[in-house]
Structure formats: C-alpha cells, structure tokens
Structure 1
Amino acid sequence: MSEPDKPREPEPAVPPLDTIDDSQRVPPPRRPAPPRPQPINAAADIPPGAIAAFGVVGLVALVLVLKWGIPKGIDWYHHQDWAWFTQWTATVADPVHAYLSAHTVGLPLTATSAFVIWQGVGIASLALSWFTGAVGARLTWTAHGASSVFMVWDASPAAGRPVAAALAVLAWTIGSLFALRGLSLRPRINIHNHNHPAR
C-alpha cells in the first residue's frame, strides 16, 4: 500500500545576485615582470693588458698613417689623370647651362642664376635626403634628376644625345645611392594583436 503523498517541501530559494559597484571592483593582481638580464659589460671581460696593447698598436698605426699614408695619397692624387671626371661633369653641366640660357630669355631670372639654383637644389636635396630621409627631399631629388636628364637630352648635340643622357642618368643614380638609401618598395605591414590582455 503506497503511502499518501506528502506535501513537497519547498526548494530553498536562490539568493539574489548582488552587483558590485564599479568603485569597489578590485582588478586581478598583476603578474610580476620577469627580471631583466644584466647588461653585457665587455670592457670588464677584457684584461687591462690587452686594452693597453690595443691602445699602443692604434697609436702606432695612427702615426704611420699621418707620416706615410697621407703624403702617399696626396702624391697619388696629383699623378692621376682626372680628365675623365671633368669631361663627364662638363657633358652633364654644359647642356644644362645651354638649355637654361636658351629658355630664360625674357625672364627676370638670368641663365647664370638659374644654373646656380639648379646646382643648389641638387646639392641640398641630396644632402637632406641622405641625412634625414624625408619624403619631400627625396621627391625633390627625383624631380631634379628627371629635369636634368631632360635638359641634357634636349640641349646636347644630336649625335651625342644618347650618350650624354645616359651619363646624366648614371650620375643621378650614383647620387641616388646616398639620397634614396633605405628606401624599399616592399609594403610595411603592422600587425596589432587585439586579443592580448592589457598589462
């Protein structure tokens, strides 16, 4: 015989969730940063005798360079034929001057002043591009090179026009080794990890 159904006991009530005010929240404890490695002190690892020996050898090498190397270098410089360099410079600079002389007629600017400006802009843009790597300086250097090649091509004699333009391009590319150093056509990609917890 089954027992009569007993009244079911009420289930314990679930306490209400208490919310914590933002001012009372405690952030989780920060993990301590790993200890930094000690800097390498190479001077402490070199014996004092070796440092003194290097100093003596360096002093002797400096004396030999000042006494023998520099006079030999000056003597070698004076016995070299630098006509190729002056001819190359004239092949580029003379047509530029001729072009400016022909195309500054009627302007308040003289051909000589335009030639000085051409030289100054080239030197300044080369130096600024080399030392600062600024985009504006590099763009100025590029425009200076393109306009120089155009002027050399236009003002050179017809028979020597290709060679003169090629020498102007070579002169500009040699300068670009310094002006455009570090320039890369490879795109730079920056990856930001948004899932990394803030420290």
Structure 2
Amino acid sequence: MSDALSKPRSTPGTEPKPPRPVPHSPADDIPDGAQVLLAVIGIASAIALLVWGIPKGYHWARAQDWHHFTQWAATIDRPVHTYLAAHTTGLPITAASAYVLWQGIGLGSLALSWATGATGARLTWIAYGAATAWMVWDSSPATGRPVATALAALAWTVGSAFALRGLSLRPVIVNR
C-alpha cells in the first residue's frame, strides 16, 4: 500500500495549527534582583507616605484658608436648601429629607455615570444639573441670580467632565 493511501484524510482548512507562542511579559525582561529592589523601594515609599506624607498633608490642609471655597459652595447650596424648604410645605417629605435626597441623587448619578457610562445615569446627571440651576436661580437674591446660576452651571460642568466622559455625538457606523 502506498503512503498516500495510509494517511488519514482531512478536509481542507482543518489541518492542525501550530501551538500559539506563550505571550511575552515585560516583567520577563527585568532581572530578579531589580524586581526585588523595585518592590523594596515601593514598600518604603508607601511607608513614608503613611508616616510622613499624610500627616503633613493634613496639617497643610488645616492651615489653609478655605473661606473662598466654602463661600462658593454656599452660593449654590443655600439657595437649593431654601428652595426645597419653601416647596416641600404640605408634602409628606420634609425639607431635610428632600435635601439629603438631592445630595444623594447628585453624588450617585455622578458616580454611576463615571463608573458605568449608563445612559440612565447620564440622563439623571443632566436633569440633576438643570434642576439645581433652576433652584439656584429661583431662590437667589434678584441682584445675584445671574452670578449664582453661573457658578452652579460651572460646578455642574466640572462634574460633567467626569460624568459624561467618553460621550460622543458622532454617529456610530457599523460596516458589515
């Protein structure tokens, strides 16, 4: 019998493929001694940060004048609190509960939008910003309304850089 007849027949395209090479890791190029040295330096840096850096940062933060930041936050926060207090009269929810819900929904939608990019969370973030700007406009003194609303819009815009990251208005074209 000839060798051509004794070999098993295979259909075209099903020939066994050679095994894939093992992926190369960048850590394979670093000698073991250098890896140990990098680990020791990393652990020493973490210990130095915990022992020296965090207390220094804490003392620095306590020595700073945060008055400008607190004024800016109060420009947004107080009108929202006033708006909720005025418009929850007669409702089963208290103004304090509505205020806590407002804060929680804002932080939750910001975090969910950033972490998941979910459409619902992003739409909630957009509605939250619009509602906040409206509450600031409605409850701020008449002479300061434009500035207070602009500060609220700027704060919401800064948050939107995180909440709406990766959002594109370009159409997605799928070629099949």
Aligned runs of 1:38-57 on 2, under 5 Å? 38-57=22-41
Task: Quote the residue 1:133 is aligned against.
Answer: 117
Distance 1:60 1:113 in 2: 46
Q: Is 2:161 aligned against 1:177?
A: yes
Aligned runs of 1:9-158 on 2, under 5 Å? 29-30=12-13, 32=15, 36-158=20-142
CA-based RMSD: 2.0
Structure 2, unpaired ranges of 5+: 1-10
Structure 1, unpaired ranges of 5+: 1-27, 193-199
Distance 2:77 2:174 in 1: 44
> Could you list the per-position Cα deviations for residues 46-79 of structure 1 after superposition, in whole angstroms to 9, with x for gaps in the alignment?
2111112212222322232222212211110110
TM-score, normalised to structure 1, is 0.76
- Asked which structure has the greater CA Rg, the reply is 1
Distance 1:153 1:44 in 2: 60
Aligned sequence identity (%): 61
Q: Which has a greater percent of helix?
A: 2
Tell me, what secondary structure is at the counterpart of 2:142?
Answer: coil
Tell me, what secondary structure is at the counterpart of 1:70?
Answer: helix
Most deviating of 103-112 and 47-56: 103-112
> Could you list the per-position Cα deviations for residues 118-162 of structure 1 after superposition, in whole angstroms to 9, with x for gaps in the alignment?
112111111111111110011011001001001101110011111
Distance 2:92 2:50 in 1: 52
TM-score, normalised to structure 2, is 0.85
Tell me, what secondary structure is at the counterpart of 1:160?
Answer: helix
